[in-house]
Amino acid sequence: MFPIAQNLKDVRAAIAAAAHRARRDPGSVRLVAVSKTVDLSLIRAAVDAGQDLFGENYLQEARDKIAVLGRPVSWHLVGHLQSNKAREAVALFDLIHAVDRLKLARALDAAAARQGKVQDVLIQVNQAGEATKSGVDPAAAPALLQEVARLPHLRVLGLMTMPPWFPDPEAARPYFQALRALQDHLRGLTGLPLTELSMGMSGDFAVAVEEGSTLVRVGTAIFGSRG
């Protein structure tokens, strides 16, 4: 079997096993194949192996790939986004994972209004307060969510986080638990459904699924190292 197909099979099996351990329906977890810097031929191999959801970080790169591969597959923006790129992001992506400030949310709302679209978004939370990572401080998340929820052309589906990197995936578990707890708190506070939790990458997606992830963002475990 082509390595990409085998890798996908292994990742899906690991997701299903983690879901079963947590008594969750494996169908409640979607696999976002993060294809930043990955060659078109490898993405095609993933599509051929049945993968229908991809995550990208860079607009220019995503635009070129989407132009070729089109929309039989779904595209998510998983990385940081500048407000001045909102128009293009709204044109390209079904879900934007990393909304972390009101200025960006307003730019996305305005772009979506012009494009006649309601844009699905997640709020990115920076739980460890890492200066190198984007994301709203957990304490500021309720206020941001309430502002964003008022924007008529955005629909907030849930939260996203990227914990610090640890060699042992177990060390990420408290961050995943904290994100889920924050989501439960925000659901109670706002009455919004908030069904999506974007958490877990190649090194720790199984732990994230055990803790309630609905969107795992996996790159290297599918496509190999980005070099």
220 and 35 in contact (C-beta within 8 Å)? no
- Supply the minimum distance, in Å, between the C-beta of residue 6 and ligand PLP: 17
User: The tokens of 75 are what?
Assistant: 């595209």
Q: Which of residues 124-183 bind ligand PLP (CB under 6 A)?
A: 162
Q: Please state the φ and ψ torsions of residue 5, each to the nearest 5 degrees.
A: -65, -40
The site for ligand PLP, by CB under 6 A, has a size of 13
- Supply the minimum distance, in Å, between the C-beta of residue 191 and ligand PLP: 28
Q: Where are the beta strands (DSSP E) in the chain?
A: 30-34, 53-56, 74-77, 95-99, 119-125, 154-161, 196-198, 215-218
Q: Which region, judged by CB under 6 A, interacts with ligand PLP, from 140-148, 150-158, 176-184, 216-224?
A: 216-224
Q: Which of residues 70-89 bind ligand PLP (CB under 6 A)?
A: 78-79
Q: Which of 4, 19, 34, 156 binds ligand PLP (CB under 6 A)?
A: 34
- Output the residue with the shortest Cβ distance to ligand PLP: 219
- 31 bridge partner residues: 216
User: Can you tell me which residue has the tokens 């779904």?
Assistant: 74
Distances (CA, A) of 206 to 3, 53, 124, 178, 217: 20, 18, 20, 16, 11
- Supply the minimum distance, in Å, between the C-beta of residue 23 and ligand PLP: 25
User: Can you tell me which residue has the tokens 């978004």?
Assistant: 121
User: The tokens of 151 are what?
Assistant: 């924007």
Indicate the residue among 19 and 201 with the shorter CB distance to ligand PLP: 201
- Supply the minimum distance, in Å, between the C-beta of residue 166 and ligand PLP: 12
Q: Where are the beta strands (DSSP E) in 4-153?
A: 30-34, 53-56, 74-77, 95-99, 119-125
Q: Does 92 bind ligand PLP (CB under 6 A)?
A: no
Distances (CA, A) of 73 to 12, 23, 30, 94: 17, 29, 13, 10
Q: Which region, judged by CB under 6 A, interacts with ligand PLP, from 21-29, 39-47, 169-177, 211-219?
A: 211-219
Q: Does 12 bind ligand PLP (CB under 6 A)?
A: no
Q: Which region, judged by CB under 6 A, interacts with ligand PLP, from 9-17, 45-53, 125-133, 218-226?
A: 218-226
Q: Which region, judged by CB under 6 A, interacts with ligand PLP, from 11-19, 110-118, 168-176, 213-221?
A: 213-221
Q: Does 217 bind ligand PLP (CB under 6 A)?
A: yes
By the criterion CB under 6 A, which residues form the site for ligand PLP? 34, 36, 57, 78-79, 162, 201-202, 217-221
